[in-house]
Amino acid sequence: MISIIVFIILSIVGFGFFTWNILKIKSNIGLGRDLDRTDNKKERLRTMLLVAFGQKKMFSRPIPALLHFAIYAAFIITQIELIEIVIDGIFGSHRFFRPSLGGFYTFMISFIEILSVLALIATIIFLSRRNLLKLPRLNMKEMNGWPKMDANMILFMEIILVTCIFTMNSADEVLYSRGLSHAEFTGDSSFGFSISSLIGPLFFDGLSDSSLHVLERVGWWGHIIMVFSFLNYLPYSKHLHILLAFPNTYYSNLENKGKFTNMESVTKEVKLMMDPSADPFAAAPEGESEPQRFGAKDVTDLTWKNLMDSYSCTECGRCTSSCPANVTGKLLSPRKIMMATRDRLVEKGESIRKNGSSFDDGKSLLGDYISEEEIWACTSCNACVEECPVNIDPLSIIVDLRRYLVMEESKVPTELTGMLTNIENNGAPWQFSQADRLNWANEE
């Protein structure tokens, strides 16, 4: 009875704290501007199934894709065993589904154990790539400090989780063979699980009955504690993409990648200027307000999808490793753009919750988190968008930050000023009048 009470309290606290953090994240994303992404539901569902569920874009790099898929599959399938553990914890049962499922139960747990071994191997390889091989894209300067620690912590948690699973199952295998397991006896000599039926007798056969009971309980409680720890660590970690990858890919931009969005307010002004019958002094239609800002200076000027993108970032660095500006030594890193947006959003959200929506902390995304040099280094090639495994769009943030500089601050790099002047005067980027364009053909 005591263990049941402890489990229920732990569950309420764990799920309650997780829900509280998720609601904060939802509130932060809601600070963004409105954006309609409710069209073309079939195509959106197809995109989500292929990219998030099917891991389609991961396989552009096969080796890490296979390793990641092993962990991903283990995470998904293991939830079946987790459901049983929760039921056992609430009702005080042990292996609740085994009597009713019989051989299928043995098959499922065996399959979960095989996936867990593959996930353990993948986890060790990922740790080695980050810390021993020091893969360049995983060790760039924006990954120093907390991002690197975060990546390592989640991998170590995975190792502990798998260790707890096999400790629980292996000790229980030996106990069952001795007729001492709390699981219902069905006449078999053992559970017959694929991995623990081998390592249980190998490592635990010489232990006393009381030691085996302790180990089985340590594995069971360790497993559930690690699950709740992982659950409540997610909102503070880049691994929130485990949950957000699905809505983030569903609400992907389905337009062609070369298509830029127009600001509705600017479009209306241009149409007004080109309509000879329009009254420029006419009042705006009821309910329509003037735009607060052209482009984006802070996170509240971005769309809610931009903000969801920042929370969905996996920090894998595929975008940065494919960015031609970064490859040639420029300051720009698309991954850093997303990380900076998320950091500023968290800070802004906390300030608003504590001080009210009108509070101004004197900071902004542009300037305090992202420099002008970074955004002007972008070539707008969309390589980062193409590479992202969860369809994040760093370019849309960069473009909106540029729009603010140009339209609000009148700041344009000198290299671009001459080109824009030539386009205005000559209809082309070059400093030649239109009448002289074909002079080169007359040269001998």
Highest mean pLDDT: which of 123-132, 184-193, 282-291? 123-132
Q: How many whole angstroms separate alpha carbon 323 and alpha carbon 424?
A: 30
Percentage of the chain with pLDDT > 70?
A: 96
pLDDT at 288 over 80: no
Q: % helix / strand / coil in the chain, to the nearest 5? A: 65, 0, 30
Structure-token pair, residue 67: 């390793």
Q: Rounded mean pLDDT of 336-365?
A: 92
- The mean pLDDT of the chain is 89
Q: How does pLDDT run across 12-50, given as a tens digit for each residue? A: 999 999 999 999 999 999 999 999 999 999 999 999 999
Q: How does pLDDT run across 139-185, given as a tens digit for each residue? A: 899 999 999 999 999 999 999 999 999 999 999 999 988 888 877 77
Q: Are 200 and 171 in contact (CB under 8 A)?
A: yes
Percentage of the chain with pLDDT > 90?
A: 58
pLDDT at 314 over 70: yes
Higher pLDDT, 259 or 31: 31
* Residue carrying structure tokens 């053909």: 441
- Residue 45 has a pLDDT of 96
Q: Are 44 and 252 in contact (CB under 8 A)?
A: yes
Highest mean pLDDT: which of 18-27, 168-177, 256-265, 289-298? 18-27
- Residue 431 has a pLDDT of 80
Q: Which domains does the chain have, with CATH numbers?
A: 31-50+293-410 (1.10.1060), 61-239 (no CATH)
Three state DSSP letters for 199-240? HHHHHHCCCCHHHHHHHHHHHHHHHHHHHHHHHHHHHHCHHH
